[in-house]
Structure 1
């Protein structure tokens, strides 16, 4: 969900600290030495019915939010005012950045982190390594606390099933995945209506439609190679799951032997490699996501793979009547194990509390305000993205894209799935971005793709310094 990046300020800050010559991964690994240090708790207050986490009422809490597809107004206009209403004596120190790792890795390495962090974007921190280094607070007490505004309910009882598990590492919840995101192929309802097109259900319908777009001078399918290749590897693995079943993704998560070499993954990579070779614009390899998304808003691109943050991210560039819509990926074969309407949908957009922050309790309390029904409803209103809080869209007028993603989720029913290896193992994520671009833009083969990914998965599995997770 990263925005087009403006690097100058964050690079200057890092350079001023004398850190630019040190790789981010090396900085983060420095955290491990402090793993067993007891976190400070200088800001304990009195536990009451309205203050179940025992926050000190005048203690400052520091919050850092990633400024990307969701923007930051939901923090400044909704969640911070909610926190301040309950704790009027407390200052909420707020900052935003487009490069989370660049700005925050030095602070975690020196054990001076902010209290609550939104870890997202192309330059996010390695979440699995942070957890393994003891830098992330256990959120169990947050989920056991009463909801801020849903009487008689604990926080955990207000959430979409699977939310807590999505942020669980080795049996404990460390991360709140807040935005419930629907992934698929996004298109303009106006473009399709004007041309008499309908979203494809089968692969043959898909390629026929791409041919029709090509004949009209439209790039039928596109993504940005410079920083959005993870959109595309998600698409490849979604197709693999449809072909062979969602357990394929679980096997990859669990680093099972030859999981990437599963025939369904190979077949999915082959199909998408053919799409890249025949229908994509090779110039998009060097473009950022916002540049390709702008081309779609100009009706130069047909399908664009992304999550449901897209509508909000492109709001200022979307012409009237464009009307975003999302299509599930078409069935790859007649014998797919999952139906055509199956989708990748999951709690995402990571928020966590730093265990070595000055106000751990305040960081958790901030998350409690995010998980209030009102906090979630206003988040959706501002971002056009669903949250993990049940019933929080009641009374809202849904935008075209949000209505479309809600319908896609309903149509899929139980046939939605996700994976977690990308947030667990950054080394695999980095390699997959490169391997995907090679496959889609640079004449790579499906065999090469699965071989590269199996090799890096094997290397991660064999590396005793990397914390391992399972689901």
Structure 2
């Protein structure tokens, strides 16, 4: 989990990063020739030696890499491993990829057994930073970039390295992977054909219920077995309606944060979806790919997801009558618009067997040719300046529209949870698992709020106990 920044500061920093990415920057990286790319790729990283030809050498030439197999798949990792082995002769990379919670559990087990991989790409940071299990990466980002002059940190989107200092002590303990946006997706082809406008407010959203029924669809669905997908609209709604300070209290586990009347008004949106029968039937029993397939087949007008959605479901997209459309979550009338901006993480375990080679591999990820490779293979954009324009010719219109949501008036929000010791409470499950009961009409908003408050009280007690 990341350290909690001041919400206002966090939003200012991220706004700057997003807007700089979405506008053309005369200092953005330019395409390099294969000759210069090859030369820069094999520059000796900090801590390594060089042979007589100037090529880096390492005492240990085997690198164990673990990468999350999520919505962006593994095509990039398979390709970049081959490139790195070619650019660093003699290096052998063992790549391990797993999906979902299997990957999360695998990484946890490897850390506990003292056999952590040398390099990890993951959306899960758990308590690794608080437990002192991660290597400090400041030297990597203070060092020269491989493909242009100047320190590597100057290439990274503003604010992202600040969010990579989870303990608030200036130490970079993980690095940003890709930059993505999360919100609501709809069938743009259908909306254009019907002349429907994207709903800007929740009243407009619910007013589309009859339109959905006319085309044999429900208004909303989500990845029922994984109700935390709804955080993609919950956090923006809270920031919009209750304010960023209210969101900060939630991320700090403060008492009464979930009892805030405006937060409860936000929770009531989900209750209204259930009570008005606007949820697609069977949603709560579906996994993510099942629910997403039903959405693609026209069974619901809206579904929450991130910018990996199109790539993840590329084999299930209908041949006709469908195109991806993206929007920030609706707001209560008069409230500002927000959308979630997020990224995954590169980690180097402190007790890994090959830290210097792992650092070289980390720095390699920020080469422009690899940034473009990642976009080509997955559609994921690296958290570097100028990346949207750099990638424009490689991403779909839907992706470009989604990444431009902040240019259209939405403000960015990131989940910046307070770093904690290991907890008995799974915070995400405590917040979102009761949603299943809400959607099944077995729980009220007050009961949902009280359930979360009870779990957060346990979290606070465990934080206090660990501090003694």
TM-score past 0.5 threshold: yes
CA contact (8 A) 2:283 2:291 kept: yes
CA contact (8 A) 1:373 1:391 kept: no
Higher mean alpha-carbon deviation, 372-381 vs 283-292, is at: 372-381
Among 392, 402, 406, the residue aligned to 1:405? 402
Give the equivalent residue in structure 1 for 2:155. 158
Give the equivalent residue in structure 2 for 1:190. 189
Q: 1:49 to 1:291 in 2, by over 3 A?
A: closer
How many angstroms apart in 1 are the aligned matches of 2:377 and 2:238? 34
- How many pairs were matched up? 407
Say whether 1:216 aligns with 2:211: no
The structural deviation recorded for 1:399 is 0.2
How many angstroms apart in 2 are the aligned matches of 1:466 and 1:355? 26
Give the equivalent residue in structure 1 for 2:333. 333
Q: 1:441 to 1:168 in 2, by over 3 A?
A: farther
Q: Which has the higher contact order (CA 8 A, sep 6+)?
A: 2
CA contact (8 A) 1:136 1:352 kept: yes
Q: Per-residue displacement from partner, 1:288-310 (whole Å, max 9, x unpaired)?
A: 01001111121222101011110
Among 230, 235, 251, the residue aligned to 1:232? 230
Give the equivalent residue in structure 2 for 1:371. 366
Give the equivalent residue in structure 1 for 2:202. 203
SS of structure 2 residue aligned to 1:129:
coil
How many angstroms apart in 2 are the aligned matches of 1:305 and 1:247? 24
Q: Per-residue displacement from partner, 1:326-354 (whole Å, max 9, x unpaired)?
A: 111112133x2xx23x32213x2222111
CA contact (8 A) 2:119 2:358 kept: yes
CA contact (8 A) 1:422 1:429 kept: no
The structural deviation recorded for 1:434 is 0.8
For the aligned residues, what is the CA RMSD?
2.3
Q: How does 1:26-425 map to 2 (within 5 A)?
A: 50-55=43-48, 56-57=57-58, 59-77=61-79, 79-98=80-99, 99-120=102-123, 127-149=125-147, 151-171=148-168, 172-227=171-226, 229-278=227-276, 279-320=278-319, 322-334=322-334, 336=335, 339-340=336-337, 342-346=338-342, 348-393=343-388, 394=390, 396-397=392-393, 398-412=395-409, 415-421=411-417
Q: Per-residue displacement from partner, 1:96-146 (whole Å, max 9, x unpaired)?
A: 1111133233221111111111233xxx5xx34222222221121121121
SS of structure 1 residue aligned to 2:346:
strand
Structure 1 unpaired stretches of 5+:
1-47
How many angstroms apart in 1 are the aligned matches of 2:440 and 2:365? 40
Give the equivalent residue in structure 2 for 1:450. 449
The structural deviation recorded for 1:466 is 8.0
How many angstroms apart in 2 are the aligned matches of 1:328 and 1:454? 28
The structural deviation recorded for 1:282 is 4.2
Q: How does 1:16-31 map to 2 (within 5 A)?
A: none
The structural deviation recorded for 1:72 is 0.6
The structural deviation recorded for 1:463 is 0.5
Q: 1:177 to 1:446 in 2, by over 3 A?
A: farther
The structural deviation recorded for 1:383 is 1.7
SS of structure 1 residue aligned to 2:213:
helix
The structural deviation recorded for 1:60 is 0.8
CA contact (8 A) 1:66 1:118 kept: yes
Structure 2 unpaired stretches of 5+:
1-40, 49-56
Q: 1:140 to 1:436 in 2, by over 3 A?
A: farther
Q: TM-score, normalised by structure 1?
A: 0.81
The structural deviation recorded for 1:163 is 0.8
The structural deviation recorded for 1:442 is 4.2
How many angstroms apart in 2 are the aligned matches of 1:53 and 1:467? 37
CA contact (8 A) 2:223 2:283 kept: yes
Give the equivalent residue in structure 1 for 2:26. none
How many angstroms apart in 1 are the aligned matches of 2:398 and 2:245? 29
How many angstroms apart in 1 are the aligned matches of 2:326 and 2:451? 31
CA contact (8 A) 2:372 2:391 kept: no
Q: TM-score, normalised by structure 2?
A: 0.81
